[in-house]
């Protein structure tokens, strides 16, 4: 069912007109999330222009226009921003200075302060603590001596992470013994770091949520996530977890979006403990890989919802149409040659999404498969069978 929080009086009192179809939206970033946002927006009658690092990017195939190389040039970006009715972003490593400069001439949603908090693990952890949201034990590290002291406080094993620019397992190092401290510091220092105590979690879930212009919030069903080599491999909905855990995760995701004052879509990742307790792991201020299955599985996809929220339109239903599974397609699928798309699509209930990236590389997300079925177990079996079929029939 939809989980909806009531808008605050502050937001309800603000009269801000919606951005209606026909307007031009800007998206910062040109990856697959930008491409899928643009596809949803254009289907709804908007024009979309992307600000990208490279012209040959997934978003270029779905946008009306792309602008290359302006993210590090706030003055030119502001001039461009006057063309847009609203701006959003598809990855959190957008320079905050660029978002703040744009926000002076066009609504940027989520706002630059959301970006500032969530693109840095240290600031994100401080935000969680300040708002009483549970997270892993941690300590901030700025020197080798800090690291030694942090290890003493949090205990071992622990994970040392860079505060900025880390994703899919990048920018982190596990420490199992004091003998590994110097190697970990040598690999990641002298950047600002955070040491997280090891969490003996039972599983990982994520909740994709959207918050509208006037504070209304909706959440999708939490997805149960399985990772391989620190990269999301498979997401399953429903998660099969107890109702208390599911409801708690949805409520906590709403709290996060409200505390950050998000307008748009965001994802909150959780560790689920053996007793059903929840710890917030990370916050992504944008649509999320685990939410891709909402395209087929939900009444409103995370990308259509992003358009609705950013434009100040009513939020759509997040009702689950059928149990679903999503598996990522990494560049490894091309190892034996061109994958056998015929074989994969012969599996009943499976949908294919390719992102249009120019070259497959091991570990690079090239696309995904989603399967719908009568049960989540059947959906997972179909998605995994379709992915296996890609390699069996590959031709070089």
Kind and range of the H or E run holding 385:
helix 376-392
How far is Cα 371 from Cα 323, in angstroms, rounded to an integer?
8
What's the confidence (pLDDT) of residue 169? 66
How far is Cα 289 from Cα 310, in angstroms, rounded to an integer?
19
Residue 45 gets which letter from DSSP?
T
pLDDT band (50, 70, 90) for residue 325 = very high
Residue 343 CB coordination number (10 Å): 17
Class (C level, CATH) for 324-392: alpha beta
How far is Cα 300 from Cα 321, in angstroms, rounded to an integer?
10
* CATH for 137-197, options being 3.40.50.1370, 3.30.1490.20, 3.40.605.10, 3.40.50.720: 3.30.1490.20
What's the confidence (pLDDT) of residue 378? 98
Domains 137-197 and 324-392 share a fold: no
How far is Cα 99 from Cα 372, in angstroms, rounded to an integer?
38
Tell whether the model's pLDDT for residue 218 goes beyond 70.
Answer: yes
Residue 160: alpha-carbon gap to chain centroid = 21
Tell whether the model's pLDDT for residue 137 goes beyond 60.
Answer: yes
How far is Cα 298 from Cα 166, in angstroms, rounded to an integer?
30
> Is it true that domain 3-120+201-310 has CATH number 3.40.190.10?
no
Catalogue the E-assigned strands of 254-348.
264-272, 278-284, 324-330
**Per residue in 343-378, pLDDT tens?**
999 999 999 999 999 899 999 999 999 999 999 999
Residues 293 and 301 sit within 8 Å (Cβ to Cβ): no
What's the confidence (pLDDT) of residue 49? 98
Predicted TM-score of the model (pTM): 0.93
Question: How far is it between the farthest Cα atoms of the chain?
Answer: 61
Could you give the C-alpha distances from 353 to 26, 32, 214, 366, in angstroms and in order? 23, 10, 33, 9
Q: What residue spans define the domains of the chain?
A: 3-120+201-310, 137-197, 324-392
**Per residue in 182-203, pLDDT tens?**
999 999 998 899 999 999 999 9
């Amino acid at each position: 069912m939809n989980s909806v929080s009531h808008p605050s009086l502050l937001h309800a009192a603000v009269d801000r007109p919606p951005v209606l179809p026909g307007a031009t939206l800007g998206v910062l970033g040109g990856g697959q999330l930008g491409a899928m946002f643009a596809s949803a927006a254009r289907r709804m009658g908007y024009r979309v222009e992307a600000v990208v690092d490279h012209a040959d990017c997934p978003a270029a195939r779905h946008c009306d226009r792309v602008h290359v190389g302006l993210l590090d040039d706030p003055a030119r970006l502001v001039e461009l921003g006057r063309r847009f009715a609203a701006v959003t972003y598809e990855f959190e490593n957008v320079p905050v200075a660029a978002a703040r400069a744009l926000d002076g001439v066009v609504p940027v949603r989520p706002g630059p302060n959301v970006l500032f908090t969530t693109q840095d693990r240290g600031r994100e952890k401080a935000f969680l603590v300040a708002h009483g949201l549970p997270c892993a034990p941690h300590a901030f590290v700025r020197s080798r001596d800090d690291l030694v002291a942090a290890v003493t406080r949090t205990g071992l094993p622990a994970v040392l992470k860079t505060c900025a620019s880390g994703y899919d397992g990048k920018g982190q190092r596990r420490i199992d013994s004091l003998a590994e401290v110097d190697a970990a510091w040598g690999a990641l220092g002298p950047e600002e770091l955070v040491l997280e105590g090891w969490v003996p979690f039972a599983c990982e879930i994520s909740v994709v949520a959207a918050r509208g212009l006037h504070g209304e919030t909706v959440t999708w069903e939490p997805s149960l996530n399985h990772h391989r080599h620190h990269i999301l491999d498979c997401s399953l909905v429903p998660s099969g977890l107890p109702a208390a855990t599911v409801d708690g995760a949805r409520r906590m995701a709403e709290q996060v979006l409200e505390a950050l004052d998000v307008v748009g879509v965001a994802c909150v990742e959780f560790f689920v403990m053996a007793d059903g307790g929840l710890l917030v792991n990370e916050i992504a201020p944008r649509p999320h890989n685990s939410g891709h299955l909402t395209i087929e599985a939900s009444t409103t996809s995370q990308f259509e919802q992003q358009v609705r929220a950013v434009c100040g339109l009513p939020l759509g239903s997040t009702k689950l149409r059928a149990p679903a599974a999503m598996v990522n397609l990494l560049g490894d699928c091309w190892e034996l040659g061109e994958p056998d798309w015929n074989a994969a699509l012969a599996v009943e209930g499976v949908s294919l999404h390719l992102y249009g990236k120019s070259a497959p590389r091991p570990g690079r997300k090239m696309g995904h498969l989603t399967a719908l079925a009568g049960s989540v177990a059947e959906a997972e079996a179909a998605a995994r069978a379709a992915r296996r079929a890609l390699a069996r029939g590959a031709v070089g």
